[in-house]
Amino acid sequence: MAHRTALTGNDAAAYALKQVNPDVAAVYPITPQTELMHKFASYVADGDVDTELVLVESEHSAMSATLSASLAGARSITATSSCGLALMWELLYVASGARAPIVMPEVNRALSAPINIHCDHSDTMGARDSGWMQIYAENAQESYDNILQAFRIAEHPDVKLPIMPCLDGFILSHTIEALEVLDDEKVKAFVGEYKPENSLLNVDKPVTFGAFALQDTYFEYKRQQVEAMRNAVKVIQDVGKEYGEISGRSYDLFETYMMDDAEVVIVGIGSTMGTVKFVVNQLRKEGIKAGVLKIRVFRPAPWDKVADALSGAKVVGVMDRSLSFGLEGGPLFNELRSFCRGKKFAMCDFIYGLGGRDIGVTHISDIIRGLHKAAKSGTEPEMLTFVNLRE
């Protein structure tokens, strides 16, 4: 039976992986992903899963081995953070180009230099053009739920793309929260078997994977990846609905909170959106009509639908937990803004929480009050603000 329990985000992710019992896991340690791996290794050591655990010598090899295992017809996983993801960079593109449905929990952490082990989204945001799907969690429950859905999404015949279910480093990965987990049989039935069309191990039908494509064939491969990402939109929505039927928790591309009459809307990703909802509840008591639009799926990007959902707003404040150096504002702001042309609301960006810099109720309250004031007076808000930064 489904039951309530208390787990850290890492343990919730590992629990989901335990229930899936993948064929192969190739992993390498990096903070803050390590405890996810420890937990999974203990499941292997106790015989709770019979996954082949390949303890490789780098993240580059982790992704290489996960990829070839996936092409060999094995349901394959790895997990990483930050510099680990950066070391995988080359192989991220190989994996998506090879259409390997790898599931890789990514525990978000800042990139060096200076070295920092805490949360921001610069690692995965840097990989946003790598052909991987990205789904972000707000809490441990979503970390768990997203991983289970990730297998269905990635392995869907219309998609066949790798996926990163992302969770905020430390804030989610190392914090114990209450969540509900499904029973093993339900998970097994939901996730199903992985049966790829071709396999490297099908010696009766030898297939060449990773062939050399020149000017006359390469482009078509990339076009097919575009199509797969387009297909993924519906698949993610369908899988989110189906998951709702077995768990009572449905998922879509994004979540709206108090949006019906909202004049001020905060758009953002990840754990901070939980705090924003709390602040919205408080400010609503003061008569400030604020709402939240939480991005769950960043790739494939749902911007057209998000732009429509924002139509009733007067001011939209985007919160970015990463930078795009040389471009004013973060990736979320700039991508979304390009779909909001002609909309009546004003838009601005708040860069926050880099390297784990604290983002609290007061900071968010100040942001919303400021946007509310701008909405009332009809003035344009400051386009770019760095939150809780010493200058």
Partner 1 sequence: MPTTSLKKLCNTPDLLAPGHAACAGCTGSTILRQVLLAGQQDDVKLVCTCATGCMEVISTLMPLSAWRVPFFHSAFENSAASCSGAEAAYRALKKRGKIDRDIRFIAIGGDGGTYDIGFQSLSGALERGHRMLYICYDNNAYMNTGIQRSSATPKGAETTTAPVGKVKKGKEQHKKNLTAIAEAHGIKYVAQASPHNPADLMKKVQKALDNDGPSLMTILMPCHRGWRFDMPKAIAMAEMAVDCCYWPLFEIVEGKLKVSYKPKEKKPLADWALLQGRFKHLGKPENKHILDELQEKVDREWAAMLAREERDQAAG
Interacting residue ranges for partner 1, rule: CB under 8 A: 23-24, 26, 50-52, 54-58, 60-61, 64-74, 76, 90-91, 94, 98, 199-203, 206-214, 216-217
Is 218 in contact with 270 (CB distance < 8 Å)? no
269 bridge partner residues: 295
Q: Residue 90 or 328: which CB sits closer to partner 1?
A: 90
Q: How far apart are CA 296 and CA 293, in angstroms?
A: 9
Residues 6+ apart with CB under 8 A from 294: 138, 254, 255, 256, 257, 267, 268, 269, 273
**Is the CB of 200 or the CB of 301 nearer to partner 1?**
200
In this structure, the strands spanning 254-257 and 290-295 are antiparallel
Least CB distance from residue 147 to partner 1, whole Å?
19
Of 46, 53, 93, nearest in space to 76 by CA: 53
Instruction: Quote the least distance from Cβ 190 to partner 1, whole Å.
Output: 19
Name the residue with tokens 């007076």: 377
Nearer to partner 1, 24 or 79 (CB): 24
Nearest approach, Cβ of 88 to partner 1 (angstroms)? Answer: 11
> 90 or 286: whose CB is closer to partner 1?
90
Minimum CB separation of residue 65 from partner 1 in Å reads 3
| Residue 248 burial (C-beta neighbours within 10 Å; 0-12, 13-18, 19+) | exposed
CB of 10 to partner 1, least distance (A): 23
Task: Specify the residue, 113 or 211, whose C-beta has the smaller distance to partner 1.
Answer: 211
Beta carbon of residue 62, minimum distance to partner 1 (angstroms, whole number): 8
Nearer CB in complex with partner 1: 90/358:
90
d(Cα 136, Cα 105) in Å, to the nearest integer? 10
Cis peptide before 232 (omega within 30 of 0): no
Separation of alpha carbons 284 and 362, rounded Å: 15
Shorter beta-carbon distance to partner 1: residue 6 or 55:
55
Residues in the chain: 391
Cα 209 to chain center, whole Å? Answer: 28
For the bound state, the minimum distance from the C-beta of residue 48 to partner 1, rounded and expressed in Å, comes to: 15
